[in-house]
Amino acid sequence: MSATEQRIAELSANLEQVRGAIVQATVDVGRDPSSITLVAITKNRPVADVLALAALGVTDFGENRDQEARAKHEQCGELAVTWHFVGQLQRNKAASVARYADIVESVDREALVEALARGAQRAGRSVGVALQVDLGNDPAAGRAGVAPQAVLALADTLARWPQLSLRGLMAVAPLGVDPRGPFDRLYELARQLQGEHPAATMISAGMSSDMAAAIAAGATHVRIGTALLGPRRAAELT
């Protein structure tokens, strides 16, 4: 087996496991497995991994740095997949991200909304947005995300830009606590949001370590890196 064939076999086995875990997590709580979208987080991984996973049927990919995401998007050409941007976004990178991202999941402030909308307008594109919520309730930690009580106001601001479509909410569980409480709060917030913006149905929650808890709490999108692609090697961490 060549190194390439070996990698494809590895990714295929990992994907089968992750898909199995998604089915199990949904069945456990009486949900339909097809209600969950698997987003493969391919940050710090070669574009060959993206192409291999796409060939295996993965439809959604997520990246967290503009430069790397833009390069991969270019290298993938016309590949018919959905590109998510999940990293902390600086305002001066928003226009670049608006040129290739289908859904930006990390929007947490008004300045970013405006910069993305103007970038999308210049690119002649429509960009989906999920608002990233800070579930940590710990302002000192400086975590990314809008405070829960500010979500609805930010959503109203976003709705004024025709280039952006509000898809829903995204969150990362706070470190070191049982994620179920935070994920339940996210679900409650998503229901409130949907009351005013019915199309905003996306709940992006759950990573390799807390995917089942997120699915139990109503996630529609899980963002999986390590469980699909294997542990990141030190040399790849930049």
Note the residues at the interface with ligand PLP (CB under 6 A).
Answer: 41, 43, 64, 86, 172, 207-209, 223-227
Least distance (Å) from ligand PLP to the CB of residue 152?
23
Which C-beta is closer to ligand PLP: that of 123 or that of 207?
Answer: 207
Least distance (Å) from ligand PLP to the CB of residue 225?
3
130 has which bridge partners? 168
Which C-beta is closer to ligand PLP: that of 97 or that of 163?
Answer: 97
Least distance (Å) from ligand PLP to the CB of residue 83?
14
Which C-beta is closer to ligand PLP: that of 115 or that of 224?
Answer: 224
Closest listed residue to residue 62, CA positions, set 35, 78, 44? 44
Least distance (Å) from ligand PLP to the CB of residue 122?
26
Which C-beta is closer to ligand PLP: that of 145 or that of 218?
Answer: 145
- What contacts 67, CB < 8 A, 6 or more positions away? none
Which C-beta is closer to ligand PLP: that of 26 or that of 106?
Answer: 106
Least distance (Å) from ligand PLP to the CB of residue 205?
9
CA of 103: how far to CAs of 13, 70, 98, 123, 130, in Å? 28, 14, 9, 15, 7
Q: Give Cα 84 distance to the centre of its chain.
A: 6
- What contacts 213, CB < 8 A, 6 or more positions away? 173, 178, 179, 180, 183, 206
CA of 139: how far to CAs of 28, 143, 194, 204, in Å? 35, 7, 26, 22
Which C-beta is closer to ligand PLP: that of 65 or that of 118?
Answer: 65
Query: What is the number of the residue whose Cβ is closest to ligand PLP?
Result: 225
Least distance (Å) from ligand PLP to the CB of residue 25?
14
